[in-house]
Chain A
Amino acid sequence: MITCAEAVRELWAYLDGVIEEPERKKVEEHLAFCRRCCGELEFAEELRAFLARPVAGELPADVHARLSAILDDLEGQWAAT
């Protein structure tokens, strides 16, 4: 049976589905009896979801103006042909 430290080390890889047998089975065996590591697993899932919140941000007006000008230029190139 693996220790808590070993199980915790593998939790994210386990969640990511990139852990190979027999390590995956060892993690599952550990999780089946260790409540604390189940808590670690739940938190790892929450942290993943936290990171995956949609990337959205404010586009500063000056940056937006410069990037729009590039799009204008590209359209202008097409129109000129």
Chain B
Amino acid sequence: MCTRADQPRSRVDDERFRSLAESELPRLYALARYLIGDNEAEDVVQDCLLRAYRGFAGLEDDDAGPAWLSRILVNCFRDRLRAHGREPDLVEFDEADDFSLYRKIADEDPFPYSDSVHLDFLEQFGREDVRAVLAGMPDHYRVPLVLVYMVGYEVKEAAFMVDVPLGTMLARLHRGRKLFERRLWDYAERHGLVREEVRT
């Protein structure tokens, strides 16, 4: 419930908030799906809207609105994880530590007639494919990738947001990237994306 002190300063603010929030809803929802998965994405966006509304009077630059909303969304996501006491999944790191997608593609050469086989490999993936690959990764490794490479936070900033030391964040990013590469390849094999005939 909003208090009077929490509310936007004027009806103009209220309209600005509505306009910003409406235009950002698809992106926020997509980001929430990447962070927490389909089941809770809507709840995280709802939390974000309520919190953003209460703090909107503090946003002076409209151009900063999308990044400001992203930050609030990430905070809501983090709070939800904490509240649920969600434990990080464990992953065997023999699975990915020494995997190189670059070498795998070069060795397997899935598109023998291509002059740019690595790029062609990536082009097989739509956003839903990428989301599915990320969704299959443990929180520990998925969230740093989303924050740093998809949302664009500095590594230090991402470490602060998920409340881990910088060294831990760097280690998770490293392993997360390797795991992502491994899972991209596995996904491509499972879904038949690495056959010359599927290339468009």
Contacts and interface: CB of A to CB of B under 8 A. Distances in A.
27 contacts: A5-B98, A8-B100, A12-B177, A13-B173, A18-B155, A40-B102, A43-B102, A47-B101, A50-B130, A51-B145, A51-B150, A52-B149, A54-B27, A55-B31, A56-B127, A57-B29, A57-B30, A57-B131, A58-B26, A59-B26, A67-B42, A67-B45, A70-B50, A74-B14, A74-B49, A75-B18, A78-B8
- In this complex, the member of B102, B118, B170 whose beta carbon has the largest number of chain A beta carbons within 10 angstroms is B102
Give the bracket for the number of chain B residues in contact with chain A. Answer: 35 or more
Interface of B: 2, 4, 7-8, 11, 14, 17-18, 21-22, 25-27, 29-31, 33-34, 42, 45-46, 49-50, 53, 98, 100-103, 106, 118-119, 122, 125, 127, 130-131, 145, 148-152, 155, 170, 173-174, 177, 181
Contacts of B31: 55
Interface of A: 5, 8-9, 12-13, 16, 18, 39-40, 43-44, 46-48, 50-59, 63-64, 66-68, 70-71, 74-75, 77-78, 81
Given A12-B174, A67-B45, 14 more contacts: A13-B174, A16-B148, A18-B155, A40-B103, A46-B119, A47-B122, A52-B150, A55-B27, A57-B131, A59-B29, A71-B21, A75-B14, A81-B4, A81-B7
